[in-house]
Structure 1
Amino acid sequence: LNRLLAADELDLGFVSSYEYAARPAKYRILADLSISATGPVGSVFLFSTVAPAELTGRLVLLTGQSDTSIRLVRIILEEFFHVRPEYVVGEISGRREADRKIDAVLAIGDEALRIKLENRYPVQIDLAGFWHQTTGLPFVFSVCAIREDFVRSEPETALAIRDALLRCRAAGLEQLAEICDRVAKRIPMDPAACCRYLQGIEYDLGPTKQQALEKFFTYLISRNEADEQALPLKIFPQDP
């Protein structure tokens, strides 16, 4: 979705929050929609054989599936732990066994859930949980970005789509138990544990979540990893 939206092949979609920060002139953020967590999210982990403070000069394997998570783990390691590891981006499955030089792994989603259950790494850091512990703020992994041109040309359509997404969110939360039963088989994972995991994911973008985005973007801008125009946030529609 990041690539399609950036290439103007989509008018809107849920993309990594980093995608918005990298190209803020192209987008606005649809109000009150996100994929976020206040505390541990349960599916974005740094798994390590050593303490994070010992990772300077050691090799960290990063999943290529999430630009936002890559930026987050680098901020946590470099700004919070003050270490300078070496990084490589690539496939995680099998690689961690084949390459004994790898000391830590960034994994997300189902892959992170499986690695956590294997319990092979003595150090397991939930990145959203650590961010919350350190900053006191939630972490916003994804936003619903909408092309600036589309907002200008079709504002009523944009509002109608947002309203439909809000209705879908409400319906999904009401049917969470059924969703858990379906998803758990695919991972595979115990349905009760899957439900606890999904209950930790949040989908709003209220004032505190916006503050969290601003904090993350401030780090990115200071590290020359985001466009300065990422701040202030451009929310559509704006609060009256």
Structure 2
Amino acid sequence: MGKISYINDAPVYFGLDHGLLPPWLEMVSDVPAVLNQKIKTGQIKISPVSAAFYAMNHKELLLLSDLSISCNGRVMSVILASNYSIEDLDGKKVIFSRESASAAAFLKMIFRKRNISPIFEVGPTNNYQQISKSADAALIIGDAALLHPWGQVFEYCIDLGQLWYEMTKLPFVFAVWVVRRSFAAKHPSLVREIHKLLLESKDLGYHNIDKVIEAGKNKLGLERSMVKEYFDLLYCDLDDKKIKAMALFFDSLFDQGILNEKVDIEFFI
């Protein structure tokens, strides 16, 4: 089973990290883009993946209910650091993180809607001082967005969660938990058991959120107040409003030609 190597899914895995993990279940921790590929190739069967990756592969995957990484406005860990406003990035160089599909798809959708055509380049985005010299803007996600003072080297730091909320007044779903359809068909009872474990683990995480915050502080070396603010902004459920928001996101990606077909959102039952 996959696990995102950032701190953003720490509440979901708290229980599994503190005694709930059965000996027969192996955990694979990595960045979203790697988990996306591992579930696509069948190396892992259940994992959090980028919401946009789910949309692109929805015929092979089923969603697990009540699990996501979402925000309802500002998110802090998904930003466009830029020397220009979005409208002025036409023809400018924008570096995309290698690590996420959802944020990249969202940003491309925004550019297409506004008839803006930047020059895209995929590359590492961890060295904030180097990026500021080599690109006009960069999409930064995950722990790197929290760790570095992007506002000191770029004129604009645009929070994509906030940008989506201003456009739609809806939450944004960055990641979802999925199971391969073929695996679910062969092992439905096992999938139900793992899903139940994930939900129990998440409940324990929110009952021990102070410990989750402390672990995040220690991992990243940030002030506790900043880590607390970050977790206050994150949601790990998947209620009807978030499903509606996700459907709107997928429809927007289809309308802008980023998805080849409309997505029928389907859950494992």
Given the two structures, how large is their TM-score scaled by the length of structure 2? 0.82
Q: CA shift at 1:114, angstroms?
A: 2.5
Pick the aligned partner of 1:61 from 86, 95, 119: 95
Q: Residues 183 and 168 from structure 1, CA distance in 2 versus in 1: closer, same or farther, beyond 3 angstroms?
A: same
- Tell me which residue corresponds to 2:251: 218
Spell out, residue by residue over 1:39-96, the C-alpha distance to the aligned partner (whole angstroms, 9 max, x if none): 11110000111111111001111111111111111122332x4321111010123375
Letter paired with 1:55: L
Once residues 168 and 104 of structure 2 are traced to their aligned partners in structure 1, the CA distance between those partners, rounded to angstroms, is 18
Instruction: Say which SS state the counterpart of residue 235 (structure 1) adopts.
Output: coil
Residue 171 (str. 1) matches residue 212 (str. 2):
no
Are the counterparts in 2 of residues 15 and 143 from structure 1 also a CA contact under 8 Å? yes
SS of equivalent to 2:259: coil
Q: Which of 223, 231, 238 is the aligned partner of 1:190?
A: 223
**Whole-angstrom CA distance in 2 between matches of 1:171 and 1:218:** 35
Name the counterpart of 1:234: 266
Gaps of 5+ in 2: 1-34
CA distance in 1, matches of 2:260, 2:116: 25
Aligned length: 235
1:126 counterpart letter in structure 2: D
2:58 is matched by which residue type in structure 1? P
1:180 positional shift: 1.4
The one-letter code matched in structure 1 to 2:201 is C
Q: Structure 1 residues 205, 98: closer, same or farther in 2, change over 3 A?
A: closer
Q: Partners of 2:107 and 2:240 in 1: how far apart?
A: 24
- 1:22 paired residue number: 56
CA distance in 2, matches of 1:70, 1:38: 19
Match of 1:106 among 121, 125, 139: 139
Measured in 2, the distance between the counterparts of 1:211 and 1:170 equals: 24
For the 8 Å contact 2:131–2:138, the answer to whether it is kept is: no
Match of 1:142 in 2: 175
Tell me how far apart the structure 1 counterparts of residues 155 and 132 of structure 2 sit (CA, whole Å).
18
Structure 1 gaps of 5+ residues are none
Separation of aligned partners in 1, 2:131 and 2:167: 34
Normalising by structure 1, what TM-score? 0.91
1:201-240: CA deviations, max 9, x gaps? 11111111111111111122223332425x2201122xxx
